Every structure is written in structure tokens, then in C-alpha cells.
A and B are shown apart, each in its own frame.
Chain A
Amino acid sequence: MPNSSSLTARRLKANRDAGKGSLVGYFPAGYPSVQGAIDAAITMCQNGVDVLEVGVPYSDPVMDGPVIQEATQAALDAGFRLKDVFATVKAITEAVDTPVLVMTYWNPVLQYGVERFAADLAAAGGAGLITPDLIPDEAGQWLEASEKHNLDRVFLATPTSSDERLQRASELSRGFVYSVSTMGITGAREEVDQLARGVVAGVRRVSPEQNTCVGIGISTANQVTEVNDYSDGAIVGSAFVRAYQNGGLDALKQKVQELSANLNKH
């Protein structure tokens, strides 16, 4: 768990040491346009997001609910190309010092070339990858490339993961482990499952030094606060995309401020 050189891990730790919680925010690249997504992401970073996730639009997003599916399909329809993600990351990291992780399904990386993708991501200033459909068992090439380019790799931990698998995900993750709060796909839910506490407790048990943030289903300030009570950060995606769909940059800014407002009390 080589977290010492991870910008993401350092950011989460700095917040924790300062008695603050963390907000991890997702926005898809290329939506509604490449520049539109860059502007949205910078707005998020300037208004309370501690770690940014830039999503790569993909034709078959099996972990995503309707809000993100609709946005990423719109990005693809608008002509998003994979190389645009590097320009997006570069523009964001030049404007703000927030760590920027790229969240991507595996086939685009595989087709681009794992080593080449890692090199270009590092050159663009990206912090690493979140890989929803790449489990540690299949990640040999990515482990190698991420080591070489000093990139974070965020694997998932879920309510059904065995202790053995939690341990593997924790040991191989760098930056943080993505604790999946519920058995389901992305999208807002009324209550974040009690299951999330169990997953985080599991990660803590097998790997006390590792960070873990909780995602899926989080959309309110209360949920963000609650999740930060027992983890290292709350991950929010669909709620930001929906806010942007409803009211553009202003609504997005307001939503980020609303969800990050109580984090200082931690």
C-alpha cells in the first residue's frame, strides 16, 4: 500500500488531520462538451470537492444508473474521443491543485494500451484510475504500469466481498479503497445502506492504514456528513450531474457548496 507518495492519499490525510471530512466528486468528461466538462470540473474543485473523479464515457457502462448513463451517452453522441480525457485532466490540473482520478471501464484503457494510457495520464497531471470493472485478479498489467508512473489505483470493496478479497483490494489500492455502499448501481438513494458501515469496518480490520471512501447512492449533505463519520470521504456522482442538467454551472456550484458545507465540523 504505497500511499506515501499518493497525492490523493495525502489530501485525504491532511483533511483528516485538520479534523475535516472529504468530498470526492464525479463528473463525466465530454459532457456536455469537452470544454463544458472542464469548466464544470474546475467549478467543483473550487467550491468544495477535495478529490475529483473524471468519468470516461463508455458504450456499455454496467455499473452506472440512468443519470450518468444519459450524460455519458450524450458525450459520446457529441463526439467524445478517448484522447479528450487527457486534455480534460490537463486543463483541470493546470487550473486547480485538486487530485484528479479518472474513472473508466477497462476496455478503453486496454485498446489505448495500458502502459500508454498510464504514461499519458501521468503526463497530463492525472492522479490515477478508478476501475469499476477491473478486479485485482485481472489487473496485472495495470499494477505494473501504475507503479512505473506513480499513479493511484482504486479498487472496489463491496458488502459481499470476502475478507480475503477485501485484503487484496486494500493492499493493492493506492490512494483509497472505494467502498461500495449498497448492492446496486450508481444513483441517488434515500438512505445509504448500513451495509456501507460494514464494508468500511471490513477494510479497516484487514488494512488499518488504508484510506477508504464510500460511494453509490449519496446525494445529500446529511449523507455526506454521516459517511465521513466512519470513513475517509464521501463519493458523489449522479447528484452533481443531475444538478448540472437542471441548472448548469450555477446549480452545480450550489450543490457542491451544499454537500461540502458541513465537512469542517469533522
Chain B
Amino acid sequence: MSEQPLRSHVGPYFGEFGGRFVPESLIAALDQLEATYNFAKNDPEFALELAELHRTYTGRPSIITEVPKFASHAGDVRVFLKREDLNHTGSHKINNVIGQALLTKRMGKTRVIAETGAGQHGVATATAAALFGLECVVYMGKVDTERQALNVARMRLLGAEVVPVTTGTATLKDAINEALRDWVANVDNTHYLLGTVAGPHPFPTMVRDFHSVIGNEARQQMLDEFGFLPDVVAACIGGGSNAIGIFHAFLDDESVRLLGFEAAGDGIDTPRHAATLNKGRPGVLHGARSYMLQNEDGQTQDSHSISAGLDYPGVGPEHSWLKDLGRAEYRGITDDEAMQALRLLSRTEGIIPAIETAHALAGVLKLGKELPTGSSILVNLSGRGDKDMETAARYFDLIDSKG
């Protein structure tokens, strides 16, 4: 590994990954965003404003909950949850959204657009737009508007326009394409409030920084409340924002293993999965060079996951770099493994996680059995499962059929 602390790396490149593979039309906007962010990052007033919003609006710091009854199903280990599900709007997504909304105001822009898969980022963006008085348009694959109908209603209630995207595979990747097309056309008054650590520079660095509060808090909470660092930090990974958010504070703690669990759908060796880091290879998608699912010709391949938020054939460039460095490990979790873990946490601890998050929990159930007795695992509980009740009800046959 390099001499430079891993935590100090910033874009545009993480090793051979990252960059800016976008039309020239967007470069001026990316330059403006980068300059605004770099200034804000060193501006104490910005830090204060962000911290105050997190304290009085987001609900930070989020707590840590130890879950011994759940852990008893994972071998002889202790499991701690970083409760991002308790944030306002129900997931980690708000951390980044509040930060970028403040930057939008600083740039004098009046309109934000966003892509969303599960709807969590769309809801968070619509929420911030309502709070800051910004016009808001959210692009969402038509398939996802159907499987996450409740979140569509939430966004509309908050005053956002939700545009169902029917092109391509009508999922998250196509929602990003449509948002990029909107941005190219409206870049003078519009900020693209990208929801993950993918995309062209400066998004992967900036979005990571806004989410690094998760790991910074959790690392200190572990030391303060339990007196040790966890042996493993685990998170689910689609684009990778919640994973990098909790990993980042631990990157230079050599004793801490970092594990990301991606969606293996029907199985990692079937054609239906979203296991980008396990089954993809480097390429360019949505503005950055990173691992991606693609065919021999470089055409992006369809991904599949029961969780809309992980159903993405790309991943943030910093994760690709961490994988190749060997600093983080990435494994696949099937739809069924995730759903079983979702039910287990609900029943053992009274916490209903999002299906996305359940991939990390399923990963912990398997990993725990490999670890030495007494090992500790910190999991990013990135979102709550309310939005997934329809899927869960169908999966577990929870609603009485009409007779």
C-alpha cells in the first residue's frame, strides 16, 4: 500500500479509476461545483451550517445499537448497528443531500434534479428541496416507480415532480442517463444532485465526504461506548455511498477488515445479479472509469436485484480502487439471503431494515461463522424497511388473501 494515508486520497482519480468521461457541455458545471465545494470544505461557516442542520433536522448523531439476539445467529460474535435508518427520511441519503443542497444555494442555482432507484435518494432530495425552496425533478426508472410506489407518493407530496423513465432497462442506470440529459440542457440554473459515489469528478469525492460523518461518528462511538474498534466494518453496496461513508474513517486502521456486500440476485453465477465488483470489469459508465457489468462490446449489461437501490451495473471508483488494493473485500448476497436476514432482524431485534441494508446483514450472518470467537462487527444499517413492505408482504405471504 502507498505511504500516503488512504483516507487522504481525493479525486479525480483513485488509482486508475475515476475521472471525467462526460460531454464537454458539463465540464463548466463540474468545474463550478468543484470550486464551490473546495471553498466550502475549508469554510468554517459551511461546516457550522451543515452540522447545525444535521443536529436539528437530520437527527445526528445517529446511535449505535448492539443486537445480541441477531448476533447469536451469526456464530459467536458481537454485532453493532450504526443506525442511519433513524435519520430524517429513513436512510443515510440525507447526509449527502443536505450538503449538496447547501452548495446549490451557494452556486445561486434554483433547481435540482436527481436520479433514484429505491426512492430513498429521491425522497431525501425532495425533502431538501422543500426545506431550501428549490424546484425539484426526480428521474426514476418506470420499473422502480412500480415497485417503490410509496416513495413516488412521498416525493410528490413533498412537491417534487417525478418523471418515470422508460428508455433502456427503465431502472436506475437509465434514470441517471435521463438526469444527465436534463443537466446538459439546463446546466445554467440546475444542479444535478447525484445520490451516490459514482459519476464524474468531483461527485465521488464530494459525496463520500458528506457521508464520511457516518464512519467518523461510529468510530468514536465504538471507542467511547465500548472501548475498542470493531474487527470488521460491513455495509451493503450498490453505487457505494453508505459503504464508503462508514468505511472511510477506518481506511487506515489496519486491524479493521472492510466488507461490502453486493446484490447477487438469483445467484452470483447466474445471469441475474448486480455484483459489479465480483463479476464486472473496468470500463466507463456515467462519467467515471470503474468496475461495471458489460458485455464483450462494452455495452452495459442489465443488472438484477430484488432491492431497487442495489440494482445498478456500476459502482463508485473509490471502491474499485479499494478492491484492487485489497483493502476492502466485496462479496455477493442473493435476493433470498437478504430477505431472510430482513425477517430475522425484524423478529429478533424489532428493527425492520431496508432490503438494501439486509444484504449487509445477510453477509454478517455468513461472515460471523468464519470469524474467531468474540469478534465484533459494525454494520451500517443504512435504511429502514418501511418502503419495502409491499415486496416483503409478497415475498413472505404476509397479507391475508381475500376470500
Contacts and interface: CB of A to CB of B under 8 A. Distances in A.
Interface string A203-232: 000000000000000000000000000000
Interface of A: 58-63, 65, 69, 73, 76, 81-82, 106-112, 132-135, 137-138, 155-158, 160-162, 165, 169, 180, 183-185
Nearest to A134: B21
A34 to B, nearest CB: 14
B24 A155 contact: yes
A165 B23 CA distance: 13
B42 interface: no
19 contacts: A60-B168, A107-B285, A107-B294, A108-B298, A110-B283, A111-B296, A111-B297, A133-B23, A135-B21, A137-B20, A156-B23, A158-B23, A160-B25, A160-B29, A161-B24, A165-B24, A180-B25, A183-B188, A184-B185
B184 A62 contact: yes
A183 B184 contact: yes
> In this complex, which of B23, B28, B177 has the most chain A Cβ atoms within 10 angstroms of its Cβ?
B23
B299 A76 contact: yes
A60 B300 contact: yes
Contacts of A110: 283-284, 298
A157 B23 CA distance: 10
Given A62-B184, A155-B24, A183-B25, 4 more contacts: A63-B181, A112-B298, A161-B28, A180-B25
Nearest to A108: B298
Contacts of A109: 298
Contacts of B168: 59-60, 73
B365 to A, nearest CB: 35
Nearest to B297: A82
A76 B299 CA distance: 9
B268 interface: no
Lowest 9 A-B CB distances belong to which pairs?
A111-B298, A160-B28, A184-B185, A108-B298, A82-B297, A156-B24, A107-B298, A59-B300, A59-B299
A137 B174 CA distance: 26
A107 B21 CA distance: 9
Q: Chain B: interface secondary structure?
A: mixed
A60 B286 contact: yes
Interface of B: 19-25, 27-29, 167-168, 173-174, 177, 180-181, 184-188, 283-287, 294, 296-300
A107 B298 CA distance: 6
B294 A111 contact: yes
A137 B283 CA distance: 17
Given A59-B168, A183-B185, A82 B21 contact: no
A62 B21 contact: no
A160 B187 contact: yes
B173 A60 contact: yes
A184 B184 contact: yes
Given A62-B181, A135-B22, A183-B186, A161 B297 contact: no
Given A106-B284, A138-B19, A180 B24 contact: yes
B27 A165 contact: yes
B113 to A, nearest CB: 14
Contacts of A184: 184-185
Contacts of A73: 167-168
Given A108-B299, A160-B187, A184-B185, A133 B25 contact: no
B57 to A, nearest CB: 33
A61 B283 CA distance: 15
A19 B25 CA distance: 32
B298 A82 contact: yes
Nearest to A80: B297
Contact of B177 (A60, A158, A160, A183): A60
> In this complex, which of B24, B174, B186, B296 has the most chain A Cβ atoms within 10 angstroms of its Cβ?
B24
Nearest to A182: B185
Contacts of A63: 23, 181, 184
